């Protein structure tokens, strides 16, 4: 039977560099695998959790688009409340982008709701984040630009469009 081999704690710094490298090479599945290996050895490693969230969300709209619950659960493992909110925003924003690749007649409404949800997370993160960190503002602005670029708008029937996110 094939079994996974554990990595050593000493190898974690280089493994994190590799995970980041594979994300940059647009190989999020490989980055995800590396992060999972790190978290087997050090379950609360914050950078590995962050990279795993990003690697999972890199795959939204492709093979792994159903992994929203896992990504959301990983945010709860982050020790910084700011990062919890910020990365929940990242998840929502990326769900919005992934939604746009579908062919459903209501994609623009659903994508809009995901973007608005992301903006709510970014707004909350901005309020508690360090004054020298404007990442939440930058992401907020990117959402506004995405809404405008793709001509997204809210549904007239709010009962029919509910992204599966809780704020």
Confidence of residue 62 (pLDDT cuts 50, 70, 90): confident
Q: Does residue 6 lie within any of the structural domains?
A: no
pTM of the model: 0.90
For the segment 93-150, what is each residue's pLDDT rounded down to a tens digit?
999 999 999 888 899 999 999 999 999 999 999 999 999 999 999 999 999 999 999 9
Structure tokens at 96: 């919005």
Say whether pLDDT at 167 is over 70: no
CB 96 within 8 A of CB 146: yes
Q: Does the pLDDT value for residue 161 go beyond 50?
A: no
pLDDT at 65 over 90: no
> What pLDDT is attached to residue 158?
62
Where in the sequence is the domain holding 131, given as residue range(s)? 80-167
Residue 99 and residue 123 in one domain? yes
Contact (Cβ atoms closer than 8 angstroms) between residue 39 and residue 49? yes
Q: Is residue 40 in some structural domain?
A: yes
Q: Are 93 and 156 contained in the same domain? A: yes
């Amino acid at each position: 039977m094939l079994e996974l081999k554990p990595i050593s704690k000493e190898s974690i710094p280089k493994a994190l560099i590799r995970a980041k490298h594979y994300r940059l090479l647009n190989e999020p599945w490989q980055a995800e695998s590396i992060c999972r290996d790190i978290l087997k050895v050090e379950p609360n490693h914050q950078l590995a959790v962050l990279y795993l969230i990003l690697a999972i969300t890199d795959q939204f709209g492709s093979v792994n688009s159903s992994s929203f619950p896992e990504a959301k659960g990983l945010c709860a493992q982050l020790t910084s409340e700011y990062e919890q909110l910020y990365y929940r925003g990242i998840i929502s924003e990326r769900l919005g982008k992934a939604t746009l690749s579908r062919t459903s007649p209501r994609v623009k409404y659903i994508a809009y709701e995901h973007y608005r949800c992301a903006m709510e997370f970014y707004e909350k993160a901005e309020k508690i984040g360090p004054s020298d960190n404007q990442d939440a503002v930058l992401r907020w602005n990117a959402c506004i630009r995405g809404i405008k670029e793709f001509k997204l708008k809210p549904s007239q029937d709010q009962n029919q469009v509910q992204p599966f996110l809780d704020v």
